[in-house]
Structure 1
């Protein structure tokens, strides 16, 4: 057996396949979707990045202003500390913002202000299910989608309620406690090994741990996390580059290597039996790779039993970012979800940028059934994949669509799902399906299939057929 471990890629691939997003602390307990979660402590700001929260107030209006304009709230132009992403939050997560949110910004070092930019107001459908511990914790707030505006130090905002119309006798009321959130993600450094970055250098592996870079207890913790004994880890050191510990990138595997990894894990409780159809594992930029501050999120992880379906999203943050900036955008969304919206972690399980780089999202393990907060009513037994950008009127890049297919083929294959098929999910409650309803949905669905929303944008939604067929082919179907 030791000879097999030392001479084959089977177990090392298996270990890389099972590598969690972050290693749990020694006292961490895996939480189930129904378990109570401890309240999060004060978030440390050790990693660069800040959040400014500015209360909104009534705006001064011209005498001829209509009822909607008269009910506006916002802030006049002002200087602020540098930031790159904006959003609006309010006190009650059950309240909806019926109206428009627009911002003007001024870049750092510049004097010209942008025109008015729209912020997507319908964001409550990206959230934990009503009965989830995350929602019941009492920290969650209502929020718009975040908007990436680039490095700025000036801002102006107006929030205008919907006017009276045939369906509404009077102008809508705005939610209470409106606040402008300005997020600074910190340094804009591309992840090592990304499509736009350099080849990763100095990544810590099980091999370097064995050679003494890390103490033996660190190797023990790492090997337990990936399902290996210390002896087995040492025996597999010949291929330890396939098992990154705290690395910035989880490397891709061929289809043969991926299948071999599953076969090697057949006796592992978490892996289950080897699946007959699975796509090759794509390269995934880890949370460390995009600079996630692990002190922001809750310590524990939350899991469901399996992954029956993947829901496709767009982040609605706009397309005015470079792939070099994608980690910064992701750090901003993460901070906005946790610090501003009150979620336990980033809502999405995975994110993809316009260049096709794939990023791990919510912590708990890329191969595991991590409970997300992406599709209200259908977070249980699903995974959420978000393309960074807005795709209601813009076409998604081919690289991003290809990355969706590759990620779905692997992730769904781990759990024995056919990307071109259908499955049954139980609704946790929403505006399309009542709580407890058994709903037949496509294994790869758009957010709008489970909730009445524009997400993932009509242009991206039209690519679902292509994604399903491509994912099925990658699985060998």
Structure 2
């Protein structure tokens, strides 16, 4: 079994750090911004037992003294925190939008060096469960920014800069990038001014309960004492699997043995034979005679990337079939190595479940920059698992997220090819042509009203169903080639 170990946790300092680019925090005065009930959130300085596989900490954002240079009204002054690798800003109302900018800078645990300011993608409400579903109406769902991967860090500073109004049209393609190494000074924590200052400084225009969630994804590594197979391939790990881990693994039992860390790739002929086994009674005579399906690619299972199955809902959620695939980017930045991809996915999973209150990770599949494919939401990679990736269009679709930010940066060719291979197989299981169009019915969103029938390309970008910049302009432009390549893999 792949055990998950908590990463080392630093001791929280009682005082904020004093840096050249930011003066020490001022004492808070006046009425604080509303924050989440402390009883329902992990305290920012609380200690976590060493055997906890990863952790999430919430730090309420506080008013900052007026800073004419940056315009920030809420945030956190520089401070030492327990180790984390991923962050995001969360708020109470999932339907509320954050009109403004969220910027962070972090201190690397290994070097002690502070990063420059980075923008966090604030448009994330276009993900999530469809309106009026049990997942959306659970009472646990919250609004949030996209998660940002920063690598192992032990210090953080945050500032929120409100806008007077949201620009018209689709959100722009902006990737998280350094916006300077702290040349602008942040104000200290405290009251921004006297009576009515909240209105003046834009605090009232921001969602209530803003807080920073710091995510330690934990570590996943093979069980001690397990010998590696002679051929170098990873063997199934079934020792001491939890009930949840067994259930998630068993959902792929037709494709791989219990405890498998990867579902192996198949040849075209093997895939066609498997299609008949999996969908034989559902296939028409023509489909049985000439099945259009791409070779099954290798897929790292949830057990392979180290999912803590206790974080998700026990039951799996399904839709009737898969008629289309929506392609996303995670908008989490590109500063990761391929060996770190499992850690990022564990971070996304914890962020989606613990911070946003979803039943499981939202995406059905994820693809890293090296083209490796990962199982997302539990329930079986060959099954029509219902995700929470495209608001209003989670039924009869699958969601594929390329890890990274591709608004201004071209996606790696290996990742694009992997999306083509994955869609050729997944859509082929349901007889769908990657180059065709299909009809979907909106469950309600910010682009199409509930009940609206929409003609969509079988392989679409997130922005085709929702008013969002996702999957980034550069990745979106690659979808035409993805459709052609996927059709070719299917033999069309």
TM-score of the alignment, normalized to the shorter chain, above 0.5: yes
Distance 1:375 1:166 in 2: 22
CA separation of 1:246 and 1:271: change in aligned 2, threshold 3 A: farther
CA separation of 1:401 and 1:246: change in aligned 2, threshold 3 A: same
Distance 1:121 1:186 in 2: 25
CA separation of 1:265 and 1:151: change in aligned 2, threshold 3 A: closer
Superposition RMSD on alpha carbons, in Å?
3.2
Distance 1:319 1:465 in 2: 23
On the 8 A contact 2:248/2:378 being kept in 1, the answer is no
- 2:357 corresponding residue in structure 1: 342
The superposition leaves residues 131-170 of structure 1 with CA deviations (integer Å, 9 ceiling, x where unpaired) of: 1110001000000000000000000001111036999x98
Partner secondary structure for residue 476 of structure 1: coil
TM-score, scaled to structure 2 = 0.76
- 2:217 corresponding residue in structure 1: 185
Partner secondary structure for residue 400 of structure 2: strand
How far off its partner does 1:60 sit? 1.4
Distance 1:305 1:321 in 2: 36
Distance 1:225 1:316 in 2: 29
Partner secondary structure for residue 301 of structure 1: coil
Distance 1:137 1:270 in 2: 37
Partner secondary structure for residue 303 of structure 1: coil
Match of 1:356 among 367, 371, 381: 371
1:402 aligns with 2:435: no
- 1:295 corresponding residue in structure 2: 310
Distance 1:158 1:244 in 2: 48
How far off its partner does 1:110 sit? 2.5
TM-score, scaled to structure 1 = 0.78
Distance 2:292 2:444 in 1: 32
Match of 2:205 among 173, 198, 206: 173
Match of 1:50 among 52, 55, 62: 55
- 1:263 corresponding residue in structure 2: 276
CA separation of 1:151 and 1:472: change in aligned 2, threshold 3 A: same
Distance 2:339 2:63 in 1: 38
CA separation of 1:45 and 1:441: change in aligned 2, threshold 3 A: farther
- 1:98 corresponding residue in structure 2: 99
- 1:119 corresponding residue in structure 2: 120
- 1:69 corresponding residue in structure 2: 71
Distance 2:438 2:52 in 1: 41
1:250 aligns with 2:258: no
On the 8 A contact 1:89/1:178 being kept in 2, the answer is yes
CA separation of 1:271 and 1:282: change in aligned 2, threshold 3 A: farther
Partner secondary structure for residue 327 of structure 1: helix
Distance 1:266 1:91 in 2: 43
- 2:64 corresponding residue in structure 1: 59
Name the structure where helix makes up a greater proportion of residues.
Answer: 1
Distance 2:376 2:159 in 1: 31
The unaligned stretches of length 5 or more in structure 1 are: 1-41, 192-197, 206-212, 215-219, 229-241
- 1:377 corresponding residue in structure 2: 392
Distance 2:283 2:161 in 1: 50
Partner secondary structure for residue 411 of structure 1: helix
- 1:200 corresponding residue in structure 2: 233
How far off its partner does 1:221 sit? 9.1
CA separation of 1:165 and 1:135: change in aligned 2, threshold 3 A: closer
How far off its partner does 1:190 sit? 9.8
